[in-house]
Amino acid sequence: MMKTYAGSASLTLLAATLPATAFGFALCVQISALSWILSTKYQLSLHEIGLVWAAGPVAGIIGQMAVGSISDRTWFAGGRRRPFILMSALLSASCLFLLPRLDLVADVLGIADILLIAATIALVLDLGINLGLNPARSLIADVTRQGHARARGFMYMQAMSGCWGVIAYLIGALAGNDVLINIGVAILLLFTFLPCLLIKEPRALQASTPHLREMPVAAHPQLGRIWIAHGFSWLAVQSMFVYTIAFVQQHIVAARPGEANHALDAGQVLAIAFAIMNCVGFLVPALALPGISKRLGQVKSHAVSLAMMALAYFGIAQFARSPAMLYVLMVFVGIGWGAIVSLPFAIMSERVGSARTGYFMGLFNLSVVIPQLLVTQFGRLLDTAPDKSLLFSACGATLSISALLWTGVREQLTMTNPEQQAAVPG
């Protein structure tokens, strides 16, 4: 098996990022295929599809913190993260396989309500993905040393996840969602079982400085600042994901009314824009962020990336009136996106005890899923707004607040030996 704590061993680091990549790939498959299947194959209404999708944030709230905390204190079958990763992979793969076969499930169970079957499968799929994500992320913290090695691990995780996410969208576009689902099942099983068989988890985790890293949440204001700042980031990002289609329809393709492919044009523009964002989002953590964060610090690098993303949002609101201009500005959005899905995990993991990483990862996830639930309220305002560029103005303002809040987070001092740790005032 591969040696643990091999912060300089690229192969070990790469293997440790694969389980998180697998669950991220499954999530991309779900995003690409679920609504399509429910609307085209089972003719569910938009309201019914919304009910099915509502399972995701709820599953995240329930699952990630509980399983993260349990995995911190469990040792079973040679690992503390391995059992949860493997069980979650089997559960998620089974549900992915059943997505295009909901009618068969209904026939076997003798249930005529396809909405009930769809909601149940989607809920279990979301639950499986959410139950696996925290142990998968915590595995990276377990097998890397504190400091730049750990930050590099989370950046590699985003680079891998982003790359395979783009591949997922391309497979769906070129080969169809049915093919994508089958490939997703194979990727999910391969990328979870293989690393778990190769990586030897450490039974004893790295020692931490107690007064900095084992304090209760209420006694550690830095954690609260991180969660609030990250929550504002996700308010902007989730709003973009959900409502950009309205902006594109009004400002990008509305100049060509009456064309037969008007709706298709909007979908293609949206797909290309998000593909560009995701491409930049996985290249930035791999090529730029490690060196920049080493020079500027993780917190300052993250705040600067968010500020660039906020400026891009304001630019889209004011100037994006053609596909080309939207694509150019989405490049800069991708810089911030790459930081959002990599640096906060490294920043947060540096401030909690190694023995409680899973629990705090789950708690940290609340700063993602709660904004996802709140975004539905913004939709009501945007629906009545005459100018849909309000979306990106609001996103830019929210992300600016996030960048400002991140400046209030202290850079964590990386301590390389016990003498340095003892020198920190209590």
pTM: 0.69
Predicted confidence band of residue 59 (pLDDT cuts 50, 70, 90):
low
Identify the residue with better confidence: 318 or 77.
318
Query: Is the domain of 195 the same as that of 247?
Result: no
**pLDDT score recorded for residue 93:** 94
Contact yes or no for 281/288 (Cβ under 8 A): no
Predicted confidence band of residue 395 (pLDDT cuts 50, 70, 90):
very high
Query: Is the domain of 115 the same as that of 89?
Result: yes
Average pLDDT of 345-360? Answer: 68
**pLDDT score recorded for residue 232:** 96
- Look-up of token digits 């576009």: 173
Identify the residue with better confidence: 314 or 84.
314
**pLDDT score recorded for residue 40:** 66
User: Cα 413–231–399 angle (5° rounding)?
Assistant: 90
Domain for residue 5, yes or no?
Answer: no
Query: Is the domain of 243 the same as that of 340?
Result: yes
Please report, for the domain that includes residue 263, its CATH number: 1.20.1250.20
Identify the residue with better confidence: 35 or 305.
305
Record the tokens describing residue 421, joined without a space: 């740790």
Domain for residue 346, yes or no?
Answer: yes
Query: Is the domain of 140 the same as that of 39?
Result: yes
Of the candidates 218, 135, 204, 163, the residue with the CA atom closest to the CA atom of residue 28: 163
Domain for residue 108, yes or no?
Answer: yes
Average pLDDT of 163-169? Answer: 84
Average pLDDT of 62-74? Answer: 62
Is residue 382 pLDDT above 70, yes or no? yes
pLDDT tens digits along 223-256:
888 989 999 999 999 888 878 878 888 898 875 5
Domain for residue 416, yes or no?
Answer: no
Is residue 157 pLDDT above 60, yes or no? yes
Domain for residue 207, yes or no?
Answer: no
Phi then psi dihedrals of residue 79, to 5 deg:
-170, 160
Predicted confidence band of residue 30 (pLDDT cuts 50, 70, 90):
confident
Q: Could you give the CA distance from residue 369 to residue 63 in angstroms, rounded to a whole number? A: 11
Is residue 28 pLDDT above 60, yes or no? yes
pLDDT tens digits along 85-105:
898 899 999 999 998 888 888
Identify the residue with better confidence: 222 or 210.
222
What are 76's strand-pairing partners? 79
**pLDDT score recorded for residue 211:** 41
**pLDDT score recorded for residue 260:** 47
Query: Is the domain of 237 the same as that of 338?
Result: yes
Query: Is the domain of 188 the same as that of 85?
Result: yes
Is residue 107 pLDDT above 80, yes or no? yes
**pLDDT score recorded for residue 141:** 75
Residue at which a domain ends, from 167, 200, 233: 200
Neighbours of 166 (CB within 10 A): 19
In the chain, pLDDT over 70 holds for what percent of residues? 74
What three-state secondary structure class fits 42? coil
Range of the domain at 159: 13-200
Query: What is the dihedral angle through the alpha carbons of 142, 24, 335, 411, rounded to the nearest 10 degrees?
Result: -20
Domain for residue 2, yes or no?
Answer: no
Query: Is the domain of 185 the same as that of 232?
Result: no
Query: Is the domain of 100 the same as that of 120?
Result: yes
**pLDDT score recorded for residue 306:** 96
Query: Is the domain of 224 the same as that of 187?
Result: no
User: Cα 298–299–303 angle (5° rounding)?
Assistant: 120
Query: Is the domain of 317 the same as that of 399?
Result: yes
Query: Is the domain of 33 the same as that of 161?
Result: yes
For the chain, the average pLDDT equals 78
**pLDDT score recorded for residue 108:** 87
**pLDDT score recorded for residue 195:** 84
**pLDDT score recorded for residue 99:** 86
pLDDT tens digits along 329-352:
999 999 999 899 888 877 877 776
Residue at which a domain ends, from 162, 179, 200: 200
Predicted confidence band of residue 71 (pLDDT cuts 50, 70, 90):
low
Domain for residue 3, yes or no?
Answer: no
Q: Could you give the CA distance from residue 84 to residue 252 in angstroms, rounded to a whole number? A: 45
Split into its structural domains, the chain has a count of 2
Q: Could you give the CA distance from residue 250 to residue 254 in angstroms, rounded to a whole number? A: 5
Query: Is the domain of 62 the same as that of 24?
Result: yes
**pLDDT score recorded for residue 256:** 55
Residue at which a domain ends, from 142, 177, 200: 200
Domain for residue 327, yes or no?
Answer: yes
Of the candidates 203, 178, 168, 206, the residue with the CA atom closest to the CA atom of residue 80: 203
pLDDT tens digits along 179-214:
889 999 999 999 999 887 777 776 665 544 444 444
